[in-house]
């Protein structure tokens, strides 16, 4: 169904569960390295494998990180919280349950301010932020989709099992209306900004450090109007949960698609199934996963091997005092520090690349150059490929590219070729310049030789310039730039051509 038509008939109700992997040195309940990568099943201990007799121990740093995040979300911190066993068939958790927090989370009842590109500001209500462990990774071999359907067999890598997580759960979000997809993207972007500023997570969505489960339901405007008229509670639709969406662009697209999909079903007289759904980046669609379980289906009970977590008031206060500035305050400061106009900073906000631009500036690039390249050429390539710009190149490499331009080693035209090489995996900007021979020629000798050759081919140009027709130099400049394969400085070539005309 057309998006505008869907919003004419139905009101969207949103909810988000954002999982943040913490960047502690070790895992949540074991001393295994907190590193998901390398050879499969190497960063593991008996605890991670759930072997008989192995006992979990809570990671103290993960608790501190979780408290800091809860405070940054405006939450209250529980004087006592405890872990529970979430029982479910987990093929990627060998003990077949997840240690999580259920009815006693570490942080609860907060809110986050989110601002949209059109100036609308939302206070997103946070229900809870709780600690838990991540699961391992399944690889399904065979079949066409990489999913379990049609696969010949599956492999499991337990390196990620036990990685510390904080799950941030919102209350229901109403009132977003047409802005629902943008609000979803802006909220996840705000959470990413917070965890990056706290230094508690790498927050690389493409690596799974931060991922979002997006809940959406629709309620008909007719039923809402009838409930209001009768003085009854507003109805709620059946929700779906699109799992593990791992880019800002995908969060926005998934919400938009689900609104259109559900609206079409409901308008045709159908019903929505409460289920998880998978997002497909290539098609821009979701597909059914499994029927969504409610809390009682997981048979939670207190984890008998772990004591309650009881942080002292002194610890909580010290972590509160150490909090960085809030995202809204930080945005205002950066806008002032960078000297951006309202329009320029809004351009940064709309791009969703504030973190990348800030990191690029921290590596030494000017703010205006960082903005120019991230929201310009890099964003253009990302749009063409249908990926997030942050996945193409690192802030450090962008800073190095800018330095090469400002040092006079590259023109913008050459820099675009260097960017192409970096994105293609050819190395750092400096390495690409050397490998492709793209550095601007600063020695006048080769330039003068190329100019003389161009003048010999166009003998009348010097006379035209001497007669005051300076624009005639353009033909020579163009020929020299072509001969030098773009490595000449056009301004310097022009100077030399005009100097030759005076001789």
The predicted structure's pLDDT at residue 208: 87
Average pLDDT over residues 236-257: 93
Task: Judge whether residue 457 has pLDDT over 80.
Answer: no
CA distance 454 to 210: 57
C-alpha pair distances (Å), 121 with each of 59, 118, 238: 36, 9, 27
Identify any residues that bridge with 139 across adjacent strands, giving them in sequence order.
Answer: 155
For residue 341, give the 3-state DSSP assignment: coil
Domain count, the chain: 3
Residues 289 and 339 in one domain: no
Is 40 within the bounds of a domain?
yes
359 lies in some domain: yes
Least confident segment among 41-45, 356-360, 486-490: 486-490
**What whole-number percentage of the chain has pLDDT above 70?**
87
Specify whether 466 is located in the same domain as 344.
no
Answer yes or no: is 321 within a domain.
Answer: no
**Same domain (yes/no): 262, 378:** no
Query: Percentage of the chain with pLDDT > 90?
Result: 63
Indicate whether 196 pLDDT > 80.
Answer: yes
User: If pLDDT is split at 50, 70 and 90, which confidence band does 434 have?
Assistant: confident
pLDDT at 375: 94
Residue 108 has pLDDT above 70, yes or no: yes
Boundary-marking domain end, from 263, 282, 312: 312
Cα Rg of the chain, angstroms: 28
Burial of 471 (0-12, 13-18, 19+ CB in 10 A): exposed
- 357 with 288, same domain: the answer is no
Q: Kindly state whether residues 110 and 219 are assigned to the same domain.
A: yes
Mean pLDDT of the region 270-295: 86
Q: Is residue 318 part of a domain?
A: no
Position 298 in a domain: yes
Residues 305 and 432 reside in one and the same domain? no
CATH code: domain of residue 465? 1.10.10
pLDDT, tens digit, for every residue of 375-420? 999 999 999 998 889 889 999 999 999 999 888 788 888 888 899 9
CB-side neighbour CA atoms (13 Å) of 499: 11
Q: Which residues pair with 97 in a beta bridge?
A: 87
- pLDDT score at 342: 85
Q: Higher pLDDT residue, 244 or 237? A: 237
Q: Are residue 170 and residue 299 in the same domain, yes or no?
A: yes
Q: So what's the pLDDT on residue 497?
A: 65
Sign for the CA dihedral angle at 174, 180, 185, 190 comes to: negative
Using one digit for the tens of pLDDT, what is the confidence trace for 45-98? 999 999 999 999 999 999 999 999 999 999 999 999 999 999 988 888 989 899
- What separation in angstroms does the CA of 215 have from each of 12, 241, 412? 10, 4, 44
Decide which of 436, 463, 494 is a domain's last residue. Answer: 436
Q: What's the rounded Cα separation, in Å, for the pair 419 and 392?
A: 10
How high is the mean pLDDT of the chain?
A: 88
pLDDT score recorded for residue 483:
62
Predicted confidence band of residue 295 (pLDDT cuts 50, 70, 90) = low
Rounded to a whole number, what is the largest CA-CA distance in the chain? Answer: 95
319 is a domain residue:
no
Domain boundary among 265, 287, 312: 312
Average pLDDT over residues 437-464: 66
Based on the fold, state whether residues 104 and 15 are members of the same structural domain.
Answer: yes
**70: in domain:** yes
* Neighbouring residues of 279: CB distance < 8 A, sequence distance ≥ 6: 242, 243, 244, 245, 250, 253, 254, 285, 286
Q: Which of these, 207, 163, 160, 165, lies nearest to 65 by C-alpha position?
A: 165
Q: Kind of pairing, strands 76-77 and 121-133?
A: unpaired
Same domain (yes/no): 460, 421: no
Buried b (16+ CB within 10 A) or exposed e, 265-281: ebeeeeebeebbbbbee
Residues 427 and 456 in one domain: no
Q: Which residue spans within 238-340 are E strands per DSSP?
A: 240-245, 275-280, 285-291, 301-302
Say what the pLDDT of residue 41 is: 93
Of 331 and 378, more confident: 378
| Residue 320 within any structural domain of the chain | no
Same domain, 266 and 354: no
Q: Give the model's pLDDT for residue 267.
A: 95
Give the structural domain span for 490. Answer: 444-502
Residues 250, 307 within the same domain:
yes
Q: Output the pLDDT for position 320.
A: 96
250 DSSP assignment: H
Task: Give the residue among 383, 375, 362, 429 at the shortest CA–CA distance from 402.
Answer: 429
């Amino acid at each position: 169904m057309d998006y505008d038509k869907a919003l004419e008939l139905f009101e969207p109700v949103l909810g988000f569960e954002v999982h943040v992997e913490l960047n502690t040195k070790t895992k949540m309940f074991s001393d295994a390295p907190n590193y998901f990568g390398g050879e499969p099943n190497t960063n593991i201990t008996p605890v991670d494998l759930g072997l008989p007799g192995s006992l979990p121990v809570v990671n103290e740093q993960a608790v501190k990180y979780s408290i800091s995040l809860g405070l940054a979300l405006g939450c209250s911190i529980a004087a006592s919280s405890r872990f529970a066993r979430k029982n479910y068939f987990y093929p990627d958790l060998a003990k077949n349950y997840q240690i999580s927090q259920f009815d006693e989370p570490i942080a609860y009842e907060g809110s986050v301010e989110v601002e949209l590109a059109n100036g609308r500001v939302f206070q997103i209500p946070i229900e809870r932020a709780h600690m838990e462990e991540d699961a391992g990774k399944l690889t399904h071999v065979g079949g066409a989709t990489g999913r379990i359907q049609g696969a010949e067999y599956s492999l499991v890598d337990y390196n990620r099992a036990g990685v510390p997580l904080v799950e941030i759960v919102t209350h229901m979000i109403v009132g977003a209306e047409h802005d629902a997809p943008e609000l979803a993207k802006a909220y996840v972007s705000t959470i990413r900004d917070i965890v990056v500023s706290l230094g508690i997570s790498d927050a690389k969505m493409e690596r799974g450090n931060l991922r979002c489960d997006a809940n959406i339901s629709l309620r008909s405007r007719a039923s809402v109007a009838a409930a209001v008229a009768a003085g009854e509670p507003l109805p709620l639709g059946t929700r779906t949960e699109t799992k593990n969406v791992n880019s800002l662009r995908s969060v926005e697209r998934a919400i938009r698609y689900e609104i259109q999909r559900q609206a079409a079903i409901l308008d045709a007289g159908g019903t929505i199934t409460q289920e998880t759904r998978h997002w497909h980046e290539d098609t821009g669609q979701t597909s059914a996963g499994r029927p969504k379980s409610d809390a009682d289906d997981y048979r939670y009970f207190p984890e008998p091997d772990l004591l309650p977590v009881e942080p002292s008031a002194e610890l909580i206060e010290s972590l509160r005092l150490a909090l960085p500035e809030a995202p809204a305050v930080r945005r205002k400061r950066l806008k002032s520090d960078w000297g951006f106009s309202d329009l320029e900073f809004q351009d940064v906000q709309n791009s969703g690349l504030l973190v990348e631009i800030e990191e690029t500036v921290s590596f030494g690039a000017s703010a205006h150059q960082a903005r120019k390249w991230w929201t310009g050429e890099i964003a253009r390539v990302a749009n063409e490929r249908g990926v997030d710009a942050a996945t193409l190149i690192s802030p450090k490499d962008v800073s190095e590219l800018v330095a090469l331009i400002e040092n006079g080693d590259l023109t913008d035209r050459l820099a675009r070729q260097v960017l192409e090489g970096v994105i293609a995996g050819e190395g750092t900007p400096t390495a690409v310049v050397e490998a492709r021979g793209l550095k601007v020629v600063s020695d006048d000798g080769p330039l003068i030789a190329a100019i003389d050759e161009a003048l010999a081919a166009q003998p009348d140009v010097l006379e035209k310039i001497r007669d005051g027709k300076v624009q005639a130099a353009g033909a020579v400049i163009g020929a020299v730039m072509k001969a030098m394969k773009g490595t000449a400085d056009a301004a310097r070539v022009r100077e030399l051509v005009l100097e030759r005309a005076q001789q």
